[in-house]
Amino acid sequence: MENLLGIRQEIMDLAKETEEQVKKQFQEVEEVCEFNSMRILHAFQKYQVSDMHFNQTTGYGYGDVGRDVIEKIYAEIFQTEDALVRGQFISGTHALTVALFAMLRPSDTMLSICGKPYDTLDEVIGISPNPSSLASFGIKYEQIDLVDQDFDYAKIEKTLKEKKIKLIEIQRSRGYALRKSITLDKMEKVIQLIKKTDPEVIIFVDNCYGELVEKIEPSHLGADLVVGSLIKNLGGGISPNGAYVVGRKDLVELVAERLTSPGQGKEVGPTLGMNKQILQGLYLAPSVVASSLKTAIFASKLLENLGYIVEPKFDERRSDIVQTITFGDPELLIRYCQGIQMGSAIDSNSIPEPWDMPGYTDQVIMAAGAFTQGSSIELSCDGPIRPPYIAFMQGGLTYSYGKLGVLKAVSNLKKKN
């Protein structure tokens, strides 16, 4: 017996049982969603968003009132002095790049305290050689690895006492690394240590995938600059592209002058009709993040029930929307990702295969049947084809669609060869 999507009754029964087991976690997600919705609604009301803010500017984009109100709302939500929210950032990586180039000068040292940063920053920093990297400008890079899933507080303190560090990078989400995401209680502890040891260091947070998962953000804890993508959490599945940078006013200004040009900074930047989508995406974001979290929690428990190793566990505290499932077998990883694709609304008939991607050593399989290309707040799943064959899954615009995608993927796992 199968339903319309070809999901067998026994899997639907298992889903029902799983949902009973995760009720408490779902309730907690709903509670955070309501709290964050309140924060966002308050910001919209405080800055009196109205129809006129949806209008577009073209050309230089001088005096775009919609753009200005968006940036005030972002600063309000993050409790920062200023914000830069622009479609001219083409991705999270681009915003991180512009921000790093804006902060760092030749002979400065950047220190990452979560191990190696996200893969796409390798060539930006110069960990992998590139003639346009920060390293090519004489900017030094150092790294301190996590120990036992936590910061190496002693080594961080020692390093800050021994040498001048200009900027510390903290990556909240796990990226493609085999580590847990950084919860905000750990983030608070390390920020306090850094501020106490050297108050001049710029604390820079890659917040991708972490927004609205908890009731506060790294900026509430004293981070100086926080960066993320609009085709992830805060775009709510509506923003067509873009990214944000929030933080100290002087630092945001430096980023704006690097994005546009010195002397023009935030004053220019045509919005080309995107304001309404950015605002509507932000408005929906708490609920979309909640759907993604519920999809992840459901998948975590369902696949654990089926005998797979999952991270995080369904009842663990989360700081991002990413769920990993360890398959221990390339064939199962590929089938799971293909099943996620089959369960999506867009391109459900195309079958993803592992391929060589620029910047990756192993082949990678990527499943994303998304309305917005590359959007990973929509249900998506990918994994490098290397032991122990881990799927990184995230997103889900609604819980029902997320759940159905997971069930389709599980059906595909169980399919006979």
Ligand X SMILES: *Cc1c(COP(=O)(O)O)cnc(C)c1O
206 sits near ligand X (criterion: CB under 6 A) = yes
**Which residue, 229 or 326, is less far from ligand X as judged by CB?**
229
Q: Does 175 sit near ligand X (CB under 6 A)?
A: yes
Q: Which of residues 328-387 bind ligand X (CB under 6 A)?
A: none
Query: Using the rule CB under 6 A, is 229 a contact of ligand X?
Result: yes
The answer to whether residue 412 forms part of the interface with ligand X (CB under 6 A) is no
Decide: 299 and 306 in contact? Cβ < 8 Å: no
Q: Cβ closer to ligand X: 91 or 292?
A: 91
Alpha-carbon 365 to chain mean position: 19
User: Quick check: 411 binds ligand X (CB under 6 A)?
Assistant: no
Binding segment for ligand X (CB under 6 A), chosen from 23-31, 88-96, 144-152, 378-386, is 88-96
Binding-site member from 61, 66, 87, 92 for ligand X (CB under 6 A): 92
Site membership for ligand X, residue 173 (CB under 6 A): yes
- Cβ nearer to ligand X, comparing 340 with 410: 340
Rounded (5°) CA angle 396-401-402: 45
- Which residue minimizes CB distance to ligand X? 92
291 contacts ligand X (rule: CB under 6 A): no
Q: Quick one: which segment of 106-114, 202-210, 266-274, 357-365 binds ligand X (CB under 6 A)?
A: 202-210
The distance of closest approach from Cβ of residue 92 to ligand X in the complex, given in angstroms and rounded to an integer, is 3
Torsion of CA 41, 46, 51, 57, to 10 degrees: -110
Q: How many residues bind ligand X (CB under 6 A)?
A: 12
Taking CB under 6 A as the binding criterion, the range among 34-42, 69-77, 86-94, 348-356 that sits at the site for ligand X is 86-94
Using the minimum distance from each CB to ligand X, give the nearer residue, 104 or 205.
205
Kindly tell me which of 36 and 229 has the beta carbon lying closer to ligand X. Answer: 229
Q: Distance (Å, rounded) from C-alpha 285 to C-alpha 272?
A: 22
Q: How far is CA 57 from CA 145, 243, 259, 280, in A?
A: 45, 18, 18, 18
Q: Which of 145/250 has CB closer to ligand X?
A: 145
Phi, psi of 29, deg, nearest 5: -60, -45
User: Counting contacts by CB under 6 A, is residue 407 touching ligand X?
Assistant: no
Which lies closer to ligand X via its Cβ, residue 44 or residue 118? 118
- Asked if 321 interacts with ligand X (CB under 6 A), we say no
Rule CB under 6 A: choose which of 209, 298, 314, 336 binds ligand X.
209
Tokens of 186: 């750990």
Of the candidates 317, 320, 337, 322, the one whose C-alpha atom is nearest the C-alpha of residue 389 is 337
Among 21, 56, 120, 305, binds ligand X (CB under 6 A): 120
For ligand X, give the closer residue by CB, 61 or 175.
Answer: 175
Taking CB under 6 A as the rule, does residue 91 contact ligand X? yes
If one asks whether residue 37 binds ligand X (CB under 6 A), the answer comes out as: no
Q: Nearest approach, Cβ of 48 to ligand X (angstroms)? A: 31
Q: Provide, rounded to whole angstroms, the least separation between the CB of residue 143 and ligand X.
A: 15
Rounded to a whole number of angstroms, the distance between the first and last alpha carbons of the chain is 19
By CB under 6 A, residue 169 contacts ligand X? no
Least Å distance, CB 84 to ligand X, is: 16
Footprint of ligand X on this chain (CB under 6 A)? 91-93, 118, 120, 171, 173, 175, 206, 208-209, 229
